[in-house]
Chains A and B, each alone.
Chain A
Amino acid sequence: DQQVKQNSPSLSVQEGRISILNCDYTNSMFDYFLWYKKYPAEGPTFLISISSIKDKNEDGRFTVFLNKSAKHLSLHIVPSQPGDSAVYFCAARPPGANSKLTFGKGITLSVRP
């Protein structure tokens, strides 16, 4: 029973263009959503988060959009850079004191120079 789904395993984008990474969830109780970026042989690095009461959060080249009715969120990277090539994980957190995260399987982004 996967509560957080990243249905596309990979994405390839030309440098300078927009990258759109999608994520779907099933648990309407999640109150925070996060994106993590992971390079090989390193741990995931926090990228950006969004509260369930918001529909958009922007940080530099990264914007996360949340559509609660569709239980869908997306990460937009614009413009994409070769250094953005990594695995991106979508994660969700239920309300309460225990912040254990539920992760998707990840999507591998390749940005072509």
Chain B
Amino acid sequence: GAGVSQSPSNKVTEKGKDVELRCDPISGHTALYWYRQSLGQGLEFLIYFQGNSAPDKSGLPSDRFSAERTGGSVSTLTIQRTQQEDSAVYLCASSLASLVIEQYFGPGTRLTVT
């Protein structure tokens, strides 16, 4: 079956521009997570969606970051007025439910802000 997919795989943008990153979770998975991995760092939690509940946005680093999940499936992470420190690999993961331990990750989007 299809795993988690993300697009684009690579994105180069100029400082100050907005970017949108997309995640298609595994069909039927109700929980969706966004993480990012900066160079030399571990994965950093950004935001979490579970069904129709209000998302947990506690990991978003600034108000330039936002995310939505439409119809309980596809999610979009938007970064406004990108900065160089936003350069990282952005990873999306999904799991069958929030209490399920295993999260399935997509291949990530490598964002480079020049």
**Chain A positions near chain B (C-beta within 8 angstroms):** 4, 6, 32, 34, 36, 41-46, 49, 89, 91, 93, 97-106
Shortest CB–CB separation between residue A105 and chain B, in angstroms?
4
Residue in A closest to B100 when the chains form the complex, CB atoms: A99
Q: Is B12 an interface residue (CB 8 A)?
A: no
Q: A100-B48, A102-B45 are in contact. List 7 more A-B contacts (CB 8 A).
A: A43-B108, A44-B105, A46-B103, A49-B101, A98-B50, A99-B103, A105-B40
Binary CB contact string for chain B from 16 to 51 against chain A (1 if under 8 A, 0 otherwise): 000000000000000101010000111111001010
Q: Are A44 and B101 in contact (CB under 8 A)?
A: no
Residue count of chain B within 8 Å CB distance of chain A? 28
Shortest CB–CB separation between residue A26 and chain B, in angstroms?
14
Residues of B within 8 A of A102 (CB): 45
Residues of A within 8 A of B45 (CB): 100-102
Q: Which of B41, B43, B56 contacts A101 (CB 8 A)?
A: B43
Expressed in whole angstroms, the Cα–Cα distance for A94 and B45 within the complex equals: 13
Q: A4-B42, A44-B91, A89-B42 are in contact. Are A99 and B31 (CB under 8 A)?
A: yes
Q: Is B4 an interface residue (CB 8 A)?
A: yes
Q: Are B99 and A43 in contact (CB under 8 A)?
A: no
Q: Are B42 and A104 in contact (CB under 8 A)?
A: yes
